[in-house]
Amino acid sequence: MDTILEMRHITKTFPGVKALDDVSIQVRDGEIHALVGENGAGKSTLMKVVSGVYPHGTYDGDILFQGEKREFKNISDSESLGIIIIHQELALVPLLSIAENIYLGNEQTANGIIDWPRTFSQTEGLLAKVGLTEPPGTLVGNIGVGKQQLVEIAKALSKDVKLLILDEPTASLNEKESDALLDLLLEFKRNGITSILISHKLNEIRKVADTVTVIRDGAAVSRLDCSQEPISENRIVADMVGRDLSDRFPPRTPDIGEVIFTIRNWNVYHPQHADRQMIRNVSLEVRAGEIVGIAGLMGSGRTELAMSIFGRTYGQKISGQACLHGKEVDLGTVQKAVNCGLAYATEDRKTYGLVLDDTISRNISMANLGGVSNGFIMDDNHEQAVAEDYRRKINIKSPDVNQKTVNLSGGNQQKVVLSKWLFTDPDVLILDEPTRGIDVGAKYEIYNIINELAAQQKAIIVISSEMPELLGISDRIYVMNEGELVGEMPKADASQEAIMTMIIQSGRH
Amino acid sequence: MSTQATSVDKPQHSTASMGGFFKTHLREYGILIALVVIMGLFQFLTDGILMKPINLTNLFLQNSYIIIMALGMLMVIVCGHIDLSVGSVLGFIGALAAVMMVNYDISYPVTFIVCLMVGTLIGAAQGYWVAYYRIPAFIVTLAGMLVFKGLTLWLLNGQSVGPFPDQFQKLSTGFLPDLFPSSDFHVTSMLLGTATATLLVYFNLRTRQKQASYGSTLEPVLFFVARNALIILAILYITYLLSTYKGAPNVLILMALLISVYTFVTQRTTFGRRIYAIGGNEKAAMLSGINTQRLTFLTFANMGMLAALAGMVFAARLNMATPKAGLAFELDVIAAVFIGGASMRGGSGKIIGAVIGALIMGVMNNGMSIMGVGIDWQQVIKGLVLLAAVIFDVYNKNKAG
């Protein structure tokens, strides 16, 4: 096979940081090339260099595409050659239709006037290729994230793509959608389209990749050819983190005590559509020192359940019983829930967890201002001391606690969120996707913190879409599907297959 | 009047390098420097009239109501909202006070209290829709602006109402009584100014000591000394000038008190902290147990109260309530807050910045009027200054980010 893209000795520096340091990669024509690395390793920067987001001249090194040296000045230069990048944050306009989005900036015109019939019929063709059956006139905002991802890909196809770059395309997709997307990539491969896949998920890479390049600290550290040898996850992980992580989950000996928190017959309805029941008769319990996982597909109602419990921040017509230490409690507002000893670290830390423009210390004290004031007047020095204490204890990597959280990496942001809740001294912690979007090394640290909390006899509920993670850290797993708890299994019986079987068998149709 | 505000910003267990410190605090010093430069410029352009005691007194009287409202507006903007109705509320409350005192002979203390309460209620009513029904503040207060403009006309029957009892006028045009009425020089004002300056420096020193004991990065010594020297000099110089005329105006004392109270509330209390958190990320604040709705409601109620106070100060100064009172004042107030460094997105901005912003606008108004610049060009120049200040902000932020 020929080489379609070759990047030679790419070095890119930002003020104070060397983001890429002499990186060379080769992508063969017609392959699926996976690019893996921790967050901040430089994968996205590298792809921005290829696609012209960082124009020629702002980096050192050469780009050869289809054998010729290229000097892209902007994205349209690279797009005209068929290099299309799909970013992690989708670039679709929610209030425009699928067809309008696909041809945005590339409108199908006749004499300067948009030819709608042609636009729509071409869109239909493209949608068929990616396996979407939605009418082209559907508003993008009305379809799910998984389908939006497919619309992005259809948009790429409309531009006669030769090299498709996908930046963590499955980050917000559920397993089924992810599989469909990966199958699509395999089909593109048969049609001669080359793909570069940036991903954190090693199982996906194993499924589709022909070649894997591992990037670490701005340098390409290894290149694995999957046709030569089967890919070992441990090998990739070891290359990513630069050390051998023989065990991705820290060891722990559970010390499980009394039941602390129970939910009985919990029912919740959709906040806008009062007749749509989102959570149906959920009952669960957590013990002191126990880590309980909640597994389920995206949209199975896990976050909705957690938020409806935590201060009724989701849904309406909530009914059911919540008991702490055997006594029924009112969790009607966030303040009440916090006072009862509940904490909920949200799924999306940037939108729901942090004030990004505020410092680490201000974020840590936010849920317990009473703890750093006399009730009304703040004690700034105490606040600093508290934050400093957490910074050291749970290893928030930052020179001091007065850095804005917006400048921290995902893993460190998550540690700030955890610190915020630890400072409220909760008995029950609900952690919603505690390691989403953070790299392997930081994940290990988060698991350590979770284990430490369990050792302190706190009751912990972990919601996660990554099944290996749930299997790795939980003592017991509840399986949720379509708003109901469809099963429960102790760690000993749990496996990905068992969980998936439970979900599939519970389908109410 | 400065700044517990600069307290803990960039500690690293040492004193920061001067260049670095200046860069990170460019905005805070920048606005102060801008004020000094603008004052110097107009002092020169007006042949020294700007800093004449009588003009200085006027300057404070003319801008008192803008500054008073800027205190509330800062909190509303920090909270992530806006209040367009304050000019109309100011006019309405002035009219209400006039009608109560002049037409119905109600005593001024009762009028004063009733007006404050009505203002608070107006703010609360608007805040209710914003906070609990999530109606955009822009719309709610735009409606309020029209409603209270109309009610002012109705209340006054389209005519001006006045004059007011002497005691009420004193609110705005009165001066601090001199306890030593012997000389031409207003000794009490001078003493009060000296005491204020001393107290401020004492607080600054104490804050610095606390920071040092915790181990934060300290403001470079030179900056600290220079800043404090500037504060002392400015306060002493201004009170000296005022003392050679009639002394400190009552309204200046009122403003100084309000500024200290609101600086304290925004910077040092849990209430203030929560408002910044709401403006920074309302959802995160709500999920951290902060009662975002009630606090939003309260900031609007507070804004209404301050608009009412400003309304009475304004009416007392004119000794008359007019149907046109308060016209477009909201724009000056909002401009002051943004010149003072608050962010349109909410979550940042300081009381002292808003006050300096208002003073910059005030000095420009006053200076240009003395120079005989027409109202047309005054507007153009003020508009450009507002734009420049915000561009400067955004440029700085982009460079930092």
Range A117-132 average pLDDT: 90
Residue whose C-alpha is closest to residue B127's, from B65, B64, B75: B75
Residue A130, pLDDT score: 87
pLDDT tens digits along A92-102? 898 999 999 99
Chosen for mutation from A313, A336, A357 (greatest number of chain B CBs closer than 10 Å) is: A357
Q: State the smallest CA–CA distance between residue B211 and chain A in angstroms.
A: 8
Whether the bond between B163 and the residue before it is cis, its omega within 30 degrees of 0, is yes
Residue whose C-alpha is closest to residue A2's, from A165, A157, A162: A162
Residue B13, pLDDT score: 45
Range B56-79 average pLDDT: 94
Residues of B in contact with A338 (CB under 8 A): 288-289
Tell me the pLDDT band of B1, cut-offs 50, 70 and 90.
very low
Stretch (H or E) spanning B259: helix B250-268
- Are A341 and A428 in contact, with CB atoms under 8 Å apart? yes
Range B174-201 average pLDDT: 86
Tell me the pLDDT band of A447, cut-offs 50, 70 and 90.
very high
pLDDT tens digits along B308-363? 999 999 999 999 999 999 998 999 999 999 999 898 889 999 999 999 999 999 99
Report DSSP letters for A227-275, one per residue: TTSPPPHHHHHHHHHTS--S-SS--------SEEEEEEEEEEE-SS-TT
Rounded (5°) CA angle A152-A157-A162: 120
Bridge partners, residue A461, by sequence: A292, A430
Residue A235, pLDDT score: 78
Tell me the pLDDT band of A411, cut-offs 50, 70 and 90.
confident
Range A20-36 average pLDDT: 90
CATH of domain A3-241: 3.40.50.300
Range A185-213 average pLDDT: 87
Answer whether A377 sits within 8 Å of B8, measured CB to CB.
no
Tell me if domain A3-241 and domain A247-341+426-509 are identical in fold. Answer: yes
Tell me the pLDDT band of A20, cut-offs 50, 70 and 90.
confident
Domains and CATH numbers, chain B: 46-174+249-400 (1.10.3470)
Angstrom distances, CA of residue A122 to CA of A99, A102, A135: 9, 10, 12
Residue whose C-alpha is closest to residue B228's, from B254, B212, B256, B207: B207
Residue B71, pLDDT score: 97
Handedness of CA A229, A233, A238, A240 (dihedral sign): positive
pLDDT over threshold 60, residue B10:
no
Residues of A in contact with B9 (CB under 8 A): 402
Answer whether A355 sits within 8 Å of B7, measured CB to CB.
no
Q: CA–CA separation, A161 vs A150, rounded Å? A: 14
pLDDT tens digits along B123-167? 999 999 999 999 999 999 999 999 999 999 999 999 999 899 999
List the alpha helices (DSSP H) in A289-394: 302-309, 334-340, 360-365, 380-393
Range A355-363 average pLDDT: 93
Residue B400, pLDDT score: 56
Residues whose CB falls within 8 Å of the CB of residue A169, separated by 6 or more in sequence, listed in order:
A86, A149, A181, A197, A199
Residue A347, pLDDT score: 86
pLDDT over threshold 60, residue A509:
no
Q: CA–CA separation, B120 vs A37, rounded Å? A: 57
Residue whose C-alpha is closest to residue A309's, from A274, A276, A285, A275: A285
Highest mean pLDDT, choosing among A39-53, A233-247, B45-59, B93-107: B93-107
Q: CA–CA separation, A492 vs A505, rounded Å? A: 21
Tell me the pLDDT band of B215, cut-offs 50, 70 and 90.
low
Q: State the smallest CA–CA distance between residue B212 and chain A in angstroms.
A: 10
- Are B310 and B69 in contact, with CB atoms under 8 Å apart? yes
Residue whose C-alpha is closest to residue B76's, from B334, B328, B389: B334
Residue A1, pLDDT score: 57
Residue A501, pLDDT score: 81
Q: Phi, psi (5° rounding) for residue B3?
A: -140, 90
Tell me the pLDDT band of A107, cut-offs 50, 70 and 90.
confident
The domain A247-341+426-509 is classified under which CATH number: 3.40.50.300, 3.40.50.1110, 3.40.50.920, 3.40.50.1980? Answer: 3.40.50.300
Q: CA–CA separation, A120 vs A127, rounded Å? A: 10
Range A103-113 average pLDDT: 87
Chosen for mutation from B287, B291, B397 (greatest number of chain A CBs closer than 10 Å) is: B287
Q: Where are the domains of chain A?
A: 3-241, 247-341+426-509, 353-425
Answer whether B268 sits within 8 Å of A310, measured CB to CB.
no
Residue B364, pLDDT score: 92
Average model confidence (pLDDT) across chain A: 88
pLDDT tens digits along A159-196? 888 999 998 888 777 778 888 889 989 998 998 899 99
Looking up tokens 């910074």 gives A391
pLDDT over threshold 60, residue B236:
yes
Average model confidence (pLDDT) across chain B: 89
Chosen for mutation from B288, B298, B345, B398 (greatest number of chain A CBs closer than 10 Å) is: B288
